[in-house]
């Protein structure tokens, strides 16, 4: 029900309200049936901004239910109040997105099963390490006609091999799952500064277009590409490069070195993606999810920030400690992803093809000093990009 209808419902005496509500709502452009109900699973920094973007559109678009439910991993604030209660009272996520109103139609809900039960559009946006547990809890509890989208930048490595988060969601919940990635530092989008994003889908173009409609605003431009793996791997792997960029900042190596790290990183991202999924399109790297996200994350992201601090302390303080000190409950993805990438590379016997990814893992695991990150950029490249791409694909086919 829209705000006008709610107003009629509560302020007009019952018999007249029923008559009024049986006419088409004057605030709706036509009398479409409302078909889609959205729940956001996650309420961190990006999760809260995603809820804000979506909530501004569900109010405007006929086919979406106005209310947007947002699942909150409940926690107590220093005041003793519950985060969910404070969000619902103030319309602000005071811990993960202070100072920004989410929209009155965002309802925070600490009960995961309750939050998803009526939704047929599920937006997943939690740190990737929590998704396995969340999927276990949700299996069999969601609508069978639900569609999913993952905004999560990360992957899992299982015994059977690497598993993208959208695949985990698809398999565990039995639903189609697209992805949305891009140059999207959440705090900037919260302030409605212009940015772009990419929706990646595999088969269902219609669903992808609906996601574009749900997220797109005049300041948040979303396009779709048929390359779900390419888009998701861009978002996942750039976090490893961002850690490297942070090391370079901490070592005060300057802009040329950082640009070199970004170039080498992009190269490794492309080769790694092709190795896992030969179908990944090179053009995807020129969408917002590719080179643009790599740039923004290496300039202004949280992975970069904590990587910088790690190098400034000469590797003497752990990432966990620095994350807790600098990010107030927000989570880094890059260190865990570097480990996951390393496991894939070791398993396939091709660590040597990825000196930057491997150095980030070795440094963050404390086996090399932060300065090792620039030593690898002194190495003569042993392959051209095309040679590497070919080798990666051949390797994949052999496996
Ligand atoms: N913040 C950004 O700028 C940004 C932008 C684009 C994509 N992303 C991606 O979005 C995803 C979510 O990041 P975010 O920034 O919204 O989160 P965040 O790092 O700001 O917050 C951490 C969240 O995890 C929750 N949490 C803590 N323990 C948990 C548990 N055991 N189970 C479930 N949840 C738990 C916290 O309550 C909080 O909501 C990540 O994959 C990130 O890479 C973030
Ligand atoms: O702050 P980071 O490093 O998690 O990066 C945020 C976004 O992914 C940038 O698009």
The arithmetic mean of pLDDT across residues 138-167, rounded, is 94
Q: Where in the chain is the domain with CATH 3.40.50.720?
A: 32-226
CA of 98 to the centre of ligand 1 (A): 15
**Residues enclosing ligand 1, CB less than 6 A?**
42-47, 73, 96, 125-128, 130, 151-154, 184-186, 329-331, 333
The predicted structure's pLDDT at residue 394? 61
Q: How far apart are CA 264 and CA 284, in angstroms?
A: 17
Q: What share of the chain is helix, strand, coil (3-state, %, to 5)?
A: 55, 15, 35
For ligand 1, atom 12: residue with the closest CA: 126
- Atom 6 in ligand 1: residue holding the nearest Cα: 184
ipTM of the complex model: 0.99
Strands (E), the chain: 36-41, 64-71, 106-109, 121-124, 147-150, 155-158, 161-164, 176-181, 195-200, 220-225
Residues carrying CATH 1.10.1040.10, the chain: 230-398
Mutate to test the pocket of ligand 1, among 41, 43, 45 (most ligand atoms within 8 A of CB): 45
44 appears as a binding residue in the annotation: yes
Tell me if 75 sits within 8 A of 95, measured CB to CB.
yes
| Contact predicate 122/144, CB 8 Å | no
Q: Is 30 annotated as a binding residue?
A: no
Residue 128 has what DSSP assignment?
Answer: G
Pocket test of ligand 2: the residue of 237, 298, 302, 360 to mutate, having most ligand atoms within 8 Å of its CB, is 302
- The DSSP secondary structure of 231-280, one letter per residue, reads HHHHHHHHHHHHHHHHHHHHTT--HHHHHHHHHHHHHHHHHHHHHH-TT-
Note if 203 is an active site residue: no
Least confident of 18-32, 46-60, 242-256: 18-32
* 3-state SS, residue 8: helix
Query: What is the C-alpha separation between 121 and 40, in angstroms, rounded?
Result: 9
Whose Cα sits closest to atom 17 in ligand 1? 44
Q: Does 42 count as an annotated binding residue?
A: yes
DSSP for 286-328, written as a single string: GSIIIIIHHHHHHHH-HHHHHHHHHHHTTT-S-HHHHHHHHHT
Pick the CATH number of 32-226 from 3.40.50.2300, 3.40.50.10490, 3.40.50.720, 2.70.160.11: 3.40.50.720
Of residues 92 and 389, more confidence is placed in: 92
Q: What is the mean pLDDT of residues 315-328?
A: 97
Could you give the CA distance from residue 359 to residue 338 in angstroms, rounded to a whole number?
Answer: 9
Is 50 exceeded by the pLDDT of residue 21?
no
**Closest residue by Cα to residue 334 from 128, 120, 172, 187:** 128
Averaged confidence pLDDT in the chain: 91
Residue nearest ligand 2's atom 4 by CA: 302
Ligand 1 mean position, distance from CA 67 (Å) = 22
Instruction: Judge whether 319 and 335 are in contact, CB under 8 Å.
Output: yes
| Residues in Cβ contact with 303 at an 8 Å cutoff, skipping those fewer than 6 apart | 239, 242, 243, 246, 297, 332, 333, 334
What's the CA gap between 280 and 284, in Å, rounded?
Answer: 8
CATH fold for domain 230-398: 1.10.1040
| 317 confidence band (pLDDT: 50, 70, 90) | very high
Angle, to 10 degrees, between the axis of helix 293-300 and the axis of helix 228-250? Answer: 30
Residue 219 near residue 192, CB atoms below 8 Å: yes
Pocket test for ligand 2, best of 50, 97, 128, 184 (most atoms within 8 A of CB): 184
* CA distances from residue 2 to 27, 73, 94 in whole angstroms, order as listed: 8, 28, 26
Q: Kindly calculate the radius of gyration of the chain based on its CA atoms and give it in whole angstroms.
A: 22
Q: Are 43 and 72 in contact (CB under 8 A)?
A: yes
Q: Is the model more confident about 399 or about 248?
A: 248
Check pLDDT > 60 for residue 36.
Answer: yes
pLDDT in tens, 206-224: 999 999 999 999 999 999 9
d(CA 64, CA 213): 10
The per-residue pLDDT for 4 is 52
Closest residue CA from atom 27 of ligand 1? 73
- Does ligand 2 come within 6 angstroms of the Cβ of 185? yes
Distance between Cα 43 and ligand 1 center (Å): 7
Answer whether residue 382 shows pLDDT above 90: no
3-class DSSP assignment, residue 36: strand
- Indicate if ligand 2 lies below 6 Å from the C-beta of 292: no
């Amino acid at each position: 029900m829209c705000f006008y209808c709610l107003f009629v419902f509560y302020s007009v005496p019952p018999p007249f309200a029923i008559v009024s509500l049986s006419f088409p709502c004057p605030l709706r452009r036509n009398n479409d049936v409302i078909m889609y109900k959205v729940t956001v699973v996650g309420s961190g920094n990006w999760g809260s901004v995603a809820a804000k973007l979506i909530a501004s559109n569900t109010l405007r678009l006929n086919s979406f239910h106005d209310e947007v439910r947002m699942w909150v991993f409940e926690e107590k604030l220093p005041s003793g109040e519950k985060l969910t209660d404070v969000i619902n009272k103030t319309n602000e996520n005071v811990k993960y997105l202070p100072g920004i109103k989410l929209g009155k139609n965002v309802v925070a809900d600490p009960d995961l099963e309750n939050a998803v039960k009526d939704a047929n559009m599920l937006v997943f946006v939690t740190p990737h390490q929590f998704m396995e547990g969340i999927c276990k809890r949700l299996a069999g509890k969601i609508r069978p006609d639900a569609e999913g989208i993952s905004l999560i930048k990360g992957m899992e490595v299982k015994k059977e091999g690497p598993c993208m988060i959208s695949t985990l969601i698809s398999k565990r919940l039995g639903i189609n799952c697209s992805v949305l990635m891009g140059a999207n530092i959440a705090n900037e989008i919260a302030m409605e500064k212009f940015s772009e994003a990419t929706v990646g889908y595999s088969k269902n173009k219609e669903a992808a277009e609906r996601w574009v409609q749900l997220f797109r605003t005049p300041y948040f431009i979303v396009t779709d590409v048929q390359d779900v793996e390419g888009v998701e791997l861009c978002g996942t792997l750039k976090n490893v490069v961002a850690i490297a960029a942070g090391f370079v900042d901490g070592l005060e190596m300057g802009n040329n070195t950082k640009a070199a790290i970004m170039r080498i990183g992009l190269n490794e991202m492309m080769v790694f993606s092709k190795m896992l999924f030969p179908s990944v399109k090179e053009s995807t790297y020129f969408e917002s999810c590719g080179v643009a996200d790599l740039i923004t994350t290496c300039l202004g992201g949280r992975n970069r920030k904590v990587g910088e601090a790690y190098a400034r302390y000469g590797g003497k303080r752990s990432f966990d400690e620095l994350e807790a000190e600098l990010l107030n409950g927000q989570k880094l993805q890059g260190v865990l992803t570097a480990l996951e990438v390393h496991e894939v590379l070791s398993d396939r016997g091709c660590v040597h093809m990825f000196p930057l990814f491997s150095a980030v893992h070795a440094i963050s695991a404390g086996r090399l000093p932060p300065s090792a990150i620039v030593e690898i950029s002194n190495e003569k490249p042993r392959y051209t990009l095309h040679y590497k791409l070919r080798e990666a694909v051949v390797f994949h086919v052999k496996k």
